[in-house]
């Protein structure tokens, strides 16, 4: 039987919203009397179409929800299907979110229909919360809060990812396709950023040529549930920044430990801040993991981070070769990510694992 998930915001009716929101226990004894919508997030380049939904109930409650549908651009929709983004995000919210202590938006409705390729998520709208700008970078306080939350993602399925057989590893067919993607994108990326990135052309090409070995390395060792895109624009901080909520679970995977931490401190904060505080960040992460029963040595973490830093080149290179070069913010974002990443690769001697 068709699931009747709207393809676009034009297909969303008030009755569809009322029917699906009313099914949530929060509205069991408080009937919805009206709904209104407005677009949000236009031009932010994420894989989806977004509305803010304002709900009013009989008791005069006014609640804001976040509505997310499939990507409106067919090219991005094809990417989402290729990497199973829709399926993974719905499975996270319906199967994993309630089992983990990580703070995520409350889910009011989540479903995906592979027959029509349509997805709909109705989530808590994070009123009063804020996300840092990745170009500016997270502050030290924000980075500490993000690391404390990160252990709630990485610890629960430590060496247990086989219990989630739908999670991909870097050996999964569609992640293996990054081998060809890296080859196709390397020249465009280097032409765009060669005057900025602190890496020689020879070392850069070495990473590209070693990509099959890098994917092998990322599927070995201690595998754990990985957010994969643990960047500050996917984190919401409470007003006093004591709490962190994590969004955008489309890319979750089972990857060698260290990926999320390497991504966070290697691309999301200014390099000087990382260099001044990196030991503290590593100690804090290991302490948080230890408190959740994961015995993880600093030596193992640092080795895992070397593999992760090389693996993160896929985000810089593939993303950096495909964004609209006329978009000034996109150019600066990928330039900043790439510069920070290659500085971190140099600081960690990450190339040593493939030499």
Bridge partners for 37 per DSSP: 53
- The share of the chain scoring above pLDDT 70, in percent, equals 97
Q: Average pLDDT for residues 151-164, to the nearest whole number?
A: 96
Can you give the C-alpha Rg of the chain in angstroms? Answer: 21
Which of 257, 253, 207, 245 lies closest to 229 in space, CA to CA?
A: 253
Please, which residues have CB within 8 angstroms of residue 326's CB and are 6 or more apart in sequence?
none
Bridge partners for 53 per DSSP: 37, 65
Q: Which domains, ranges and CATH numbers included, belong to the chain? A: 9-124 (3.30.200), 140-353 (3.90.1200)
Q: Which tokens sit at 168?
A: 């991909």
Instruction: Report the pLDDT value the prediction gives residue 44, as an integer from 0 to 100.
Output: 45
Q: Which tokens sit at 5?
A: 């998930």
Using CA atoms, how far apart are residues 112 and 104, in angstroms rounded to an integer? 19
* Strands 244-246 vs 235-237: parallel, antiparallel or unpaired: antiparallel
* Higher pLDDT, residue 77 or 6: 6
CA dihedral 280, 248, 318, 218 (to 10 degrees): 60
The position carrying tokens 């020879």 is 202
- The share of the chain scoring above pLDDT 90, in percent, equals 83
**What pLDDT band is residue 3 in, cutting at 50, 70 and 90?**
confident
**What pLDDT band is residue 303 in, cutting at 50, 70 and 90?**
very high
Which of 100, 92, 109 lies closest to 27 in space, CA to CA?
A: 109
Q: Average pLDDT for residues 14-40, to the nearest whole number?
A: 91
Using CA atoms, how far apart are residues 121 and 35, in angstroms rounded to an integer? 16
Please, which residues have CB within 8 angstroms of residue 49's CB and are 6 or more apart in sequence?
8, 9, 68, 69, 70, 71, 72
Using CA atoms, how far apart are residues 141 and 311, in angstroms rounded to an integer? 27
Question: What region, left, alpha or beta, does residue 10 occupy, with left being phi > 0 and alpha being psi -120 to 50 degrees?
Answer: alpha
Judge whether residue 154 has pLDDT over 60: yes
Q: Chain-wide mean pLDDT for the chain?
A: 93
pLDDT in tens, 208-265: 999 999 999 999 999 999 999 999 999 999 999 989 999 999 999 999 999 999 999 9
Judge whether residue 73 has pLDDT over 80: no
Which of 182, 135, 170 lies closest to 313 in space, CA to CA?
A: 182
**What pLDDT band is residue 271 in, cutting at 50, 70 and 90?**
very high
CA dihedral 66, 68, 72, 75 (to 10 degrees): 130
Q: Find the angle CA(156)-CA(161)-CA(164) to the nearest 5 degrees.
A: 105
* Higher pLDDT, residue 2 or 349: 349
pTM here is 0.91
**What pLDDT band is residue 49 in, cutting at 50, 70 and 90?**
confident
């Amino acid at each position: 039987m068709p699931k009747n998930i709207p393809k676009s915001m034009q297909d969303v009716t008030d009755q569809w919203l009322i029917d699906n929101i009313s099914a949530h226990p929060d509205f069991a004894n408080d009937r919805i009397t009206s709904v209104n919508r407005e677009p949000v997030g236009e031009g932010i380049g994420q894989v989806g179409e977004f509305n803010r939904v304002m709900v009013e109930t009989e008791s005069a409650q006014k609640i804001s929800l976040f509505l997310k549908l499939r990507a409106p651009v067919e090219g991005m929709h094809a990417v989402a299907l290729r990497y199973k983004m829709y399926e993974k995000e719905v499975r996270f919210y319906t199967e994993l979110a309630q089992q983990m202590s990580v703070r995520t938006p409350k889910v009011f409705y989540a479903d995906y229909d592979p027959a029509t390729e349509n997805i709909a998520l109705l989530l808590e709208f994070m009123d009063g919360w804020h996300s840092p700008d990745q170009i500016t970078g997270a502050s030290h306080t924000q980075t500490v809060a993000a690391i404390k939350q990160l252990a709630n993602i990485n610890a629960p399925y430590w060496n247990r990812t086989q219990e989630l057989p739908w999670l991909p590893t870097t050996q999964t067919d569609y992640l293996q396709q990054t081998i060809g993607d890296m080859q196709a994108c390397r020249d465009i990326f280097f032409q765009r950023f060669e005057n900025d990135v602190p890496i020689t052309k020879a070392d850069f090409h070495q990473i590209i040529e070693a990509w099959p070995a890098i994917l092998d390395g990322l599927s070995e060792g201690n595998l754990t549930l990985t957010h994969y895109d643990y960047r500050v624009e996917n984190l919401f901080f409470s007003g006093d920044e004591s709490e962190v909520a994590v969004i955008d679970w489309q890319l979750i995977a089972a990857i060698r430990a260290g990926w999320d931490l390497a991504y966070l401190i290697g691309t999301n904060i200014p390099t000087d801040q990382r260099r001044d505080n990196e030991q503290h960040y590593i100690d804090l992460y290991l302490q948080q993991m230890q408190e959740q029963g994961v015995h993880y040595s600093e030596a193992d973490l640092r080795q895992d981070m070397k593999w992760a830093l090389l693996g993160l080149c896929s985000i810089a290179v593939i993303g950096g070769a495909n964004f609209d070069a006329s978009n000034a913010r996109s150019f600066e974002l990928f330039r900043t990510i790439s510069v920070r990443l290659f500085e971190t690769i140099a600081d960690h001697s990450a190339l040593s694992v493939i030499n």
